[in-house]
Chain A
Amino acid sequence: MRVPVSWLREYIELDQPVTQLAHLLTIAGLEVTGIEDTGSGWDRVFVGMVERIERVPEADRLVLATVNYGADSLTVVTGAPNIAEGQKVALALEGAVLVDAYADTPRKRKLKATKIKGIRSQGMVCSERELGLSSEHEGILVLDGDATVGAPLATALGDHILTFDLPNNLAYANSVVGLAREIAAITGVVCRERSVPILAATGAATMATVEGKHLAARYLLQRLDNLVIRPSSPYIQQRLQASGVRSINNVVDATNYVMLEYGQPLHGFDRDASEGDVVVRASHTGEVFETLDHQRRPMPPGTVMIADAARAIGIGGIMGGLNSEVTEATTSILLESATFDPIRIRRSARAMGLRTEASARFERGMDPELAPVALARAVELLVQEADAVPVGAPYDWYPEPIRQRAIELPYAEVKRLLGVEVAPDEMECILRSLEFDVVSQPDRLLVTPPSYRQDVTLAADLVEEIGRIHGYDEIPATLPSGALPVQRSDEAALLERRAREWLVAAGLREVINYDLTSVAALEPFRALPAGAGPAFWQPVNQLIKVRNPLTTEREYLRPSLLPGVLQNLRDNLRHQEAVWLFELDRVFVRQGDGLPLEPRRLAVALAGLRRPSSPHLADGETNLYDLKGVVDGLLAALRVHTYALVADNERPASLGVEIGGRCAGFASALDAELLARLDIDRPVVAAELDWEIILGAATRATTFAAYSRYPAVRQDVAILTQDSVPAAAVEQVIVRYGGRNLRGWRLREVYRGAPLPEGMKSLLYGLEFQSDDRTLTEAEGTKGRRAIERGLREQLGAEIRGSDQP
């Protein structure tokens, strides 16, 4: 909402600078988001009076005007069609800086004296556009007759325009009068009351039938005859324009003016459009209605329609009908001031996609007591502006006048909620300044809000009023006192954090993706295994779809993290040599009709160089063993004791991750076809694990195990075996035959190629033998190694290099 300060001044004395006023309002909850200073750039622009107009020879459109600006008169050549003798106008002298009305992009220029058709033009009479007031440039700006000739234009027309962003509950303040009331309470200055002429009390000239109070709490209708439709007075036009409302004609302008001034939306119907009594009814099934904006609209069920016996003439509280529009030919109107049902207005406006200034106001609830006041004010304006003659009294349907109930406010309640002591006197004073009716009792106040404060129903509401007027700056910062609540630790969050930190230490970067994805992004994953482990792809009809997605890119709740992480990987490979990513977050699984399950997953995707290239190291391309190392290391770090990474016999270069015998995910090198579909041209290894299973199996604390203080004996064993024998089989034999002193083994080297025969490989294991109670001899180590060598020969047919071979 834009509000000219000059308009506010009609209702309240303002002494403080406008920035101070804006600050006070903002702190009290009426946020001022902008202060515009119109007239700040009007140096050398004055109020002038057009004394004489002469034609310019050989130029039909131009006139020579003599303009007096107090000190002197000068002559200007102008093409303004609306210039007339006796007008007060904005006269710019040489050196004034004005908006260039003919430039395509906004820019300013300095006025110089020129010669037009050989006639010297010493200044300029300005349009609104040239003054930066609006885009209007059809003619010059005509000032109000009261303006003082010779005064700087800024004193006549300069103003501050405040822009407000009002919260929903302060709808009552959404007007000049409403704001003036708020300012009165905040600054302690009393508002000026405007006395509005009282309309005739009896003898309504117009009748209406309102179907019920479910449509409108109050409905007033005043007949006005003898109207002359013409542009409004300059002051009305200027105020509307400053408030961001376009001036249309005196009748429409008067209703808009009153809406801005009092907050009550009004509507004028051309009386020729209706026959007989007005009917306020709910829309008929299938009813179609053409609104003022030339749109034929189907009326949602339950819409409030303003009609006569034959047809509708407007949508109550939202928009008038084209058939009853006030035009230049209009001479008589029905002026409506009503309190429509907020929920009904809201539903219809939403269903139609037609939110108007009026509907926005009705939605938030209007004060029925305001309707006759605003009507009277509009009648007053129309009498002045359009020569209107009110006929009879207004029709007034108000079956159940509102009664505000008194609210009990114990004094202690203010301190209990705000944490600051406010004296009972001050509470009372604040509430009275807000026009609340207050009765004080020994320990409490009985407070009745004014009719326009239907938002105030509880003691807490009153505490808010006291708090914001007393000033939130006065509230101290204190830490909560009293017994500390039990602080509960969240094991799951802790473990999640440990996992993330471990992965970061292992060189992976965390990504966070949108929960919403598209069918197109999921489709390539159709081929991934969906069986025992977490499902990475689900048929579209099992996904959870958002009804009103912003784009088709984000339409379905993701069933897997992998599509997002792989997309991040692809995008980053364009400019990064190493891309190691993980995401640990929720996926969504449909669960009957209830809320979906939101299990967490961990996705890892690695590609590119293992580490950034360095002159000291050979470049290494990330491979499956990097991924295996990450998964292995993480599960061990989380002390998941029951996990195993097992070869997936169905797919090459793939591992199943089992925890406690259950499939908890996979880790694999992605196949070429999937990579091609994802538009990735480098090898990628990726894993997705069911975090909930990991969470269930992770153990928090580990128990200290005493380590041996005696030195270990280390021996190597190198074996030659069939290429097809998996390392896991070799290790099983090592464990089985190693004896009780075998403490560890580590595969140090795998070798294939010359001079080894085709189809064979060499594996070099380092063995470690150690005892807890003594130093082992080299011979004991050798004995252990020999036992292992025997086992390898017997179980796997392996040759022991160095002893079985020459």
Chain B
Amino acid sequence: MSSFGPSSFLLDDYLEKLPGATFRKLYQQPSTAFAIFRRMLPPLAKVYVQALLYSPTPLTTNDIELWTRPEGKGTSNRAIARLRSLHIAQLSQSTRAKKAQDIQLTANFKKSLRLALEGGGSHNSFGVPSTLPTDPKIHIQYLDQWAGRIWQDILYYVVNSVPMKANESGGRHGSGGGGPKRAVRELLKMGGLVREGAGGLVQISEHGFNFLLQEANAQVWTLLLLWLEAADRNKALAKEQGTDITGTAIDNVEMLSFLFMLASLELGRAYDTSALTETRKNMLPALADFGLIYIDRDRPQQYYPTRLATTLTSLSTMRSVSASIDAATKKTPGDAGSLGADSTPTAPADENGGIVVETNYRIYAYTSSPLQIAILKLFCRLHMRFPNMVTARLTRESVQEAIKEGITANQIIDYLVAHAHPQMRRAAAARGTTVIPPTVMDQIRLWQLESQRMQKTPGFQFKDFESVEEYRQLAEYATEIGVLVWKDDRKGTFFVSKVEQIREFLKARKKGN
């Protein structure tokens, strides 16, 4: 089974690959325009959008340059590059000033964002709340628990597929649902997060390791993007077989804009499914499998977005790895009843996964969560297991094994820090040192260096410039937009990680001369 490259795991990369026509369709929805504005833009780009939004005439790039200090030119160029790659703004040769370009928002984006801000229109883009009576037992906490459980099942499926884990009776502690739905499992396999090893045993892959250590929001997007790509692929297959393919592109756009719409809904509120298009209705069961929406069995005409959905477009990384895992592990069905209030402040160390790291690389983890133990197992050698604690040790082999699987030293350290025992934090604060003993952190990094002797960057080398001036300008531009990796002024050659904008710059430069 072929898998998608890791590059497609980020929303940014996925969006950048979409053609301009797709963006035009996407931006017909105010909720999409708004979500992209909220989530995908750096602060300076937001300022530009706001300035351009109600400007009757296009501004020139010269105007915009005046708004930033000379030393901020790089940031400004990157912001504009971002706006262009997302098809939010377009540049054209200015009619008024020489050597300058007009910049303006694309028509659909402008219209939609205005609509989103001002209200009005009959687009129903922000969902239609259900007018039917709702079940009082479905409240925010209930939804949080439900979504947390689904997500934990998915995470646990990914970790539990570590082969060593399989002989541990395969006990699925605390997750009554029997693991994620088959469709979700297929998706994880197809996305290369897990792979089928010998004997049909499922194994975690390096993408899977990275997936686990991502923050929750990124995890959700990873899964959703895999799903979108799978849908794309199925369409392509259907096309090859000559079946009806009308509306292929629409579907893709529909799916994406529905996700953006979900993000704008209100947590704990019921929405009306009858206001959805056919495509969107078809998406509902899958989204429920992911834990993004909840549908009450008795009231199928209503759907509730969960926290996983409503935080899709929040830019903040409030929910770290630890928070996501805590959220997931805390909400096992076993203690669902006892979970009265948010238990974060009073939660015992056991639930926060109090990890103690000693200077001799020993680890004591006060936890009984199988998810957390399984994660520890990814980079430690486990020694003993007690009812409320496991002991483990970081060894050169265990860390290098993890690094070979694509985990970075920093991810390991971050994980240990995020899950450190409160006692570790107190001691560290008292001594004024890092939470994890510095020797251990250094050693983990050194182990990584040992096995990573080459730093690899794919990209393009530019050479054979016509003049020194040409080289200098281009290298400068590449530095500004942040793609320059290496250069040699003497030889007149440099290496960049991305080529598209350099090409455009070259073309524009040629015209200018």
Do they bind each other?
Answer: no
Q: Which residues of A contact B (CB under 8 A)?
A: none
